[in-house]
Chains A and B, each alone.
Chain A
Amino acid sequence: MSLRNIKIEMLAWFEDRLGLSGITKFLREKKVPQHRHSIWYYTGSAILLFFCIQVITGFMLVFYYKPTLEEANASVGRIMTEVPLGWIIRSVHSWAASFMIALVFVHLISIWLTKSYRKPREMTWMSGIFLMAVSLAFGFTGYLLPWDDLSLSATKVGTDIPRSIPVVGVWVTKLLRGGEDVTGDTLTRFFGIHVCILPVFIFILLAFHVYFIQKQGISLPLRAEVNKEEVKSLPFWPNFIYREVVVWLVLVGIIFSVAIFLPPSLEKEADLMAPAPEGVKPEWYFLFLFQTLKIFPPKILFIHGDTIAVFLMILAGILFFFLPLIDNKPVATKGKVITLMAYVFILYAVVMTVWSLW
């Protein structure tokens, strides 16, 4: 029996049991529009690529990481100094998180500016907002795991923020910390959330997000949707996939190069009794929120400044989530105010981040 016959028989065997031809037929018939904004379509799959890199490197790190007060910092140190190429794996994991969140922001802003969230894609937007929240939660919980001075102090600040919310605030802070203060219990809790709870959420949300995209189709530029213009398109398989592979290859090259030449260091082990070190800062994607909290005065009239700041952030988050329902005008309306809001948000985030780093 020739190699070709073996291959045909194997494919037939799988086809009988899995019925994969339906999927390949669907992928071949699925069309991806081609226009001057098509470049934004690649951000979604690039996020998925970095997520896969995170999962693979995360599996490798979990072989050696020990989430206890006594061993966390030492085990990360061991990964960096004793495990062959451990420092590169940790560096790739850390940089992939930053790249992924940066691309999540780019993806979100591109949808905001192109108004792709409008009817009938409201659910796609909402599931995307949840995915962004889960991605940020991954970053927040992962930051504590090396258990060094900076991560401990940043987590203390971060978990203290909900305390400003009346009635439930203290409960939320205690729930996050596993007690009154950030301790070894918090570390174990964050590790559990990072490797067990958040992955479950992200896989469920991702399944919904991809389903909604398939159900409602890929969005077109506003003008084309209104005028029912015929837009040039390409089959998803193989034409678009090949283009995506090109993007993935370049991104893989960049992530490995950055991870090798700019690896993150490990600060000395956190001391629960020591005062907070100078210049405590969260990860770069939280800096604009961190700076917003800092600029609020301690008291406004008789209300705590932190409480007002947290309320404004929650309100902004809710408005952001319901953006498709707020901007529910016909597709023809350009929504200049919404576009202006997007630019104001970008400017605000950049200015606050730079100010925080100053």
Chain B
Amino acid sequence: MRRKISILLCACFFIFSFTNFGFCQQVVPEGKSEITQVNKSSEKIVSSPKDIKERTNIYVFVAWMWLAIFVLLYIFRQKIKEVDRLYHLEFFKSDRK
């Protein structure tokens, strides 16, 4: 049950992230139907968030991502302990017999 809830939460989180940030949506600005109309870069372009809103969103995303990772690491640590115990008890071996 705990695993299903974790998977569901992670799935919701990633779906929300992608839909909210709008990646893969058509973003041609009005009046620009073709990419050829975009000004050619004559200067170096530095990657960075566009505005303070995007910057905040990204910091929140990173924080949530690491939180989700630590929660999942804890769950997997418990799962590893459990499956190792079952293996040492030869649980699956007797099950197959």
Contact = CB atoms under 8 A, between A and B. Distances in A.
B40 A74 contact: yes
Contacts of A249: 69, 72-73, 76
Given A71-B35, A257-B62, A264 B43 contact: no
Contacts of B62: 256-257, 260
Contact of A60 (B24, B39, B58, B72): B24
Interface string A153-189: 0000000000000000000000000000000000000
A148 B25 CA distance: 26
B73 A264 contact: no
Contacts of B35: 66, 71, 74-75, 78
B65 A77 contact: no
Contact of A77 (B23, B38, B77, B80): B38
A74 B83 contact: no
Given A63-B24, A249-B72, A265 B44 contact: yes
Interface stretch (A41-49, A232-240, A291-299, A311-319): A232-240
Contact of A84 (B23, B40, B41, B69): B23
B45 A77 contact: yes
A82 B54 CA distance: 13
B45 A81 contact: yes
Interface stretch (A135-143, A266-274, A334-342): A266-274
A152 to B, nearest CB: 14
B36 interface: yes
A71 B36 contact: yes
Contact of B43 (A78, A234, A263, A268): A268
Interface string B24-36: 1101010000011
B45 A235 contact: no
Given A85-B21, A256-B65, A264-B47, A243 B41 contact: no
A16 B22 CA distance: 40
Interface stretch (A87-95, A126-134, A209-217, A222-230): A87-95
Given A78-B35, A242-B80, A253-B65, A87 B48 contact: yes
B30 to A, nearest CB: 13
B13 interface: no
A244 to B, nearest CB: 10
Contact of A234 (B24, B40, B84): B84
B22 A265 contact: no
B45 A83 contact: no
Contact of A269 (B23, B25, B40, B46): B40
Q: Which of A75, A257, A266 lies at the interface centre, i.e. has the most chain B CB atoms within 10 A of its CB?
A: A266
Given A74-B35, A238-B83, A84 B25 contact: yes
Given A263-B48, A268-B41, A84 B27 contact: yes
B47 A80 contact: yes
Contacts of A265: 44-47
A243 B80 contact: yes
Contacts of A71: 35-36
Contacts of A9: none
Contacts of A252: 69
Interface of B: 21-25, 27, 29, 35-36, 38-48, 50, 58, 62, 65-66, 69, 72-73, 76-77, 79-80, 83-84, 87, 92
Interface of A: 28, 60, 63, 66, 70-71, 73-75, 77-78, 80-91, 234-235, 238-239, 242-243, 245-246, 249-250, 252-253, 256-257, 260, 263-269
Given A253-B65, A265-B44, 5 more contacts: A75-B35, A80-B47, A84-B21, A238-B79, A246-B73
